[in-house]
Structure 1
């Protein structure tokens, strides 16, 4: 496949499998990868079921290869290793309200109103986000994670917008239940 093409299928087990390539599908998959209520193997099965149109007819012998191809697709055709993984500075769900306006600005229209946009097109626009509220939030998050000093205006912005800037920890149902039980002890 050339860099000038957008994949609509992935080769698994020497067969072309049609995929759902719209950006909303990819974001839905990424949501499950961030959900602590699912084990990693469950997240991958959900990913394959969502991504591959005919997943139900895929042999379980092909699942591992299919996971590799799904990762390649979600990573925009790049082979990523553990060394290339960076710490999380953003969360697609939490930051959606910041990302969409910034991507809209790059694309020049409301992307949610477009019936179909390939994941790689959306991600390309995401990577081109320039000066925006989202880029300010990311900059402050990066500085905070690296324990770097914030500029005075960044400190003020952070104090006024903590809920927007701080990445929220997601808890599994079991963790939430344990927290409730612990709080009940203090009532």
Structure 2
């Protein structure tokens, strides 16, 4: 059973490697790498339909390890669980989180055109150019204040809870339904699409 543990990472540094089994292993730290991992972890369509839930979970974890660790092949199988725990801590930015599932109020892919400019404004540069450490990127994301993105998330949350929208929120929603409404994930991909996605994410059949 894979379980995340409390991180011991030093909060004032941007980690570029993780210690597993007493050895340091370099990791890919750019935020786009982590977003690829999150996409894989939340996309059941990339796995074989006859897999059990446990098998899918194990495949998700192996995918995360293969993407994140530059030298994953050098990590002994006996240390894979520790490697997964350290990877989860890194992705969570060293913050202990409540494991209870939460309703989806944003989508990194769908909301990218809105989030990227707001994060770039906070960063003082276009974060789409060059690499940005995941922790740095997430810090910028957490610093997003009043603006279009927060308005969209607020309206999504109110609609989810059945709360009444303010007049200006109703007008905003009517004018921006495509931005506000979270897209339903595609129910089924073609085998060609699945295979291309597996190859992109490094998933071995």
Q: Name the TM tier (shorter chain).
A: 0.7 to 0.9
Once the two structures are superposed, residues 108-135 of structure 1 have per-residue CA deviations (whole angstroms, 9 ceiling, x without a partner) of: 111111x221100000000001122111
TM-score scaled to structure 1, two decimals?
A: 0.85
Q: Which structure exhibits the higher relative contact order, with contacts defined as CA atoms closer than 8 Å and separated by 6 or more residues?
A: 2
Alignment gaps of 5+ in structure 2: 1-8, 48-55, 192-205
Could you say what secondary structure the match of 1:173 adopts? coil
Is this contact kept in 2: 1:26–1:119, CA < 8 A? Answer: yes
Separation (CA, whole Å) in 1 of partners of 2:124 and 2:138: 15
Q: Does 1:169 align with 2:177?
A: no
Q: Does 1:3 align with 2:11?
A: yes
| Structure 1 counterpart of 2:84 | 67
Separation (CA, whole Å) in 1 of partners of 2:34 and 2:67: 9
Judged with a 3 Å threshold, the aligned counterparts in structure 2 of structure 1 residues 60 and 172 are, in CA distance, closer, same or farther, namely: farther
Separation (CA, whole Å) in 2 of partners of 1:51 and 1:172: 27
Report the CA distance between 1:165 and its aligned residue: 0.9
Is this contact kept in 2: 1:36–1:172, CA < 8 A? Answer: no
| Structure 2 counterpart of 1:146 | 161
Q: Does 1:30 align with 2:38?
A: yes
Separation (CA, whole Å) in 2 of partners of 1:107 and 1:97: 16
Q: How does 1:24-103 map to 2 (within 5 A)?
A: 24-37=32-45, 38=47, 39-83=56-100, 85-103=101-119
RMSD after superposition: 1.8
Aligned length: 174
Structure with the largest fraction of helix = 1
Report the CA distance between 1:172 and its aligned residue: 4.5
Separation (CA, whole Å) in 2 of partners of 1:172 and 1:13: 40
Separation (CA, whole Å) in 2 of partners of 1:61 and 1:125: 36
